[in-house]
Amino acid sequence: MSQLLRQYKETRAYSESLCEPLETEDYVPQPAEFVSPPKWHLAHTTWFFEELLLKGYYKNYKIFHNKYSYLFNSYYNTVGERTGRAKRGNLSRPTVKNVYQYRHYVDKFMEICIKDNIGNTEFIKLVVLGLNHEQQHQELLITDLKYTLGLNPLFPVYKAHYSLVDDIQKEKPVFIKIDAGDYQIGADNNSFSYDNEHNRHQVYLDDYQISSELVTNEAYLTFVNNGGYDNFNYWHDEALAWLAQYNIRHPLYWRKIEDKWYQYTLSGLKPLEPKAYLSHISYYEANAFALWQGLRLPTEEEWEIASPKFQWGLRWEFTQSAYTPYPGFKTAKGAVGEYNGKFMVNQKVLRGASRATYPGHSRPTYRNFFHPHMRWQLTGIRLAK
């Protein structure tokens, strides 16, 4: 078995393993536009391989269902019309059983296609992109599911001992000094990376310091208890409107019950662990906390250059950098070109990875991005000065 085929099988199997603890009812709900149901994630990642690979590389391929391209396209205008993002949870049909049949049908032909195109460089690049795409959706599947379950007053358990937010700080934070100078950032061409990580280029950085550790629940709880959410001096004007509109008083999934703090996790509602790293925080909250501390968030350039000097990968870490193209960035032709470039507006860059990230789906140059009010991902805070 080729390495590519092995990677394909492992990645596809991992998606389905994430769904093993689910009941049929868990596959469908969509409580907010920004989350998608597990059933949709399973189908969309399959659609990617059918639409972008099998249709072009498997002679006389017969599509599984002529409406699935409309149902499970996400945002690819090149491919055609699609169901509205907010309506993905309205689909009681196709059934969960049908979606698994769809996955296994496409997998059968993809395995043949991989064997027949093992020397085709462009084909291989597209398969690798498809695998990384599915790995992204595996993390989204879990965080979307947590958001859905977290709204349930029963506080359902997805899986025992599957908290993802129980990492305890073991070392006292220190500030790591980085000297001023010219540095190179961005991905090279030696291994897979997304187009938004290119091109590798030079940046100048002044002297700065960055924390060796992420912020803990205990530290952030002090901010909450000291009226951090009430002091306008720490918040952007847009953030103040967000706080007021949604009555935001604490991080997502925190609950205060009979004067004690709890946190909803995928293993159920648990007492808030003070020494655990903070999670599910927005950029607005991260920036406000940094200002309260008399510090700031790092830029993405600072984060990348300092990253070999600290441990990362437990939380996606907000930077103060806007998500914009690197020098020389070019949008690819066709559907692949819609992957990253068209989202380069009104978003913030996050660096690192999280406990929900697929093993190996991370690197120091990786540029994740979300709008500043979003906090349903496993996000945390690293401070700088």
Domain extents for the chain? 3-150, 175-380
d(C-alpha 177, C-alpha 196), whole Å: 28
Q: Which secondary-structure segment (H or E) carries 256?
A: strand 254-257
- Whether 109 and 54 have beta carbons less than 8 Å apart is answered as yes
The predicted structure's pLDDT at residue 78? 66
d(C-alpha 356, C-alpha 226), whole Å: 31
Mean pLDDT of 309-338: 90
Q: Any idea which residue has 């952030």 for tokens?
A: 220
pLDDT band at 65 (very low <50, low <70, confident <90, very high): very high
Q: How far are the Cα atoms of 160, 215, 250, 255, 257 from residue 261, in angstroms, in the given order?
A: 20, 17, 11, 6, 6
Cα angle 381-229-280, degrees, rounded to a multiple of 5: 35
Query: Token pair for residue 163?
Result: 């908290």
pLDDT exceeds 70 at position 159 = yes
pLDDT band at 251 (very low <50, low <70, confident <90, very high): very high
d(C-alpha 244, C-alpha 247), whole Å: 5
d(C-alpha 273, C-alpha 265), whole Å: 12
Mean pLDDT of 269-277: 98
The predicted structure's pLDDT at residue 267? 98
pLDDT exceeds 70 at position 338 = no
The predicted structure's pLDDT at residue 27? 98
Instruction: Report which of 253, 53, 14 is spatially closest to residue 136, judged by C-alpha positions.
Output: 14
Is it true that 3-150 and 175-380 share their CATH fold?
no
pLDDT exceeds 70 at position 63 = yes
The predicted structure's pLDDT at residue 49? 98
Q: Which secondary-structure segment (H or E) carries 381?
A: none
pLDDT exceeds 90 at position 79 = no
User: pLDDT averaged over the chain?
Assistant: 95
- Starting at the edge strand found earlier in the chain, the sheet holding 348-352 runs 368-370, 348-352, 316-322, 379-380
Q: Give the lowest-confidence range in 90-94, 135-139, 309-313, 350-354.
A: 90-94
CATH of domain 175-380: 3.90.1580.10
Q: Could you tell me which CATH class the domain 3-150 is placed in?
A: mainly alpha
Please name the residues in contact with 135: beta carbons below 8 A apart, sequence gap of 6 or more: 11, 357, 358, 361
SS3 annotation, 195-245: HHHCCCEEEEECCEEEECCCCEHHHHHHHHHCCCCCCHHHCCHHHHHHHHH
pLDDT band at 225 (very low <50, low <70, confident <90, very high): very high
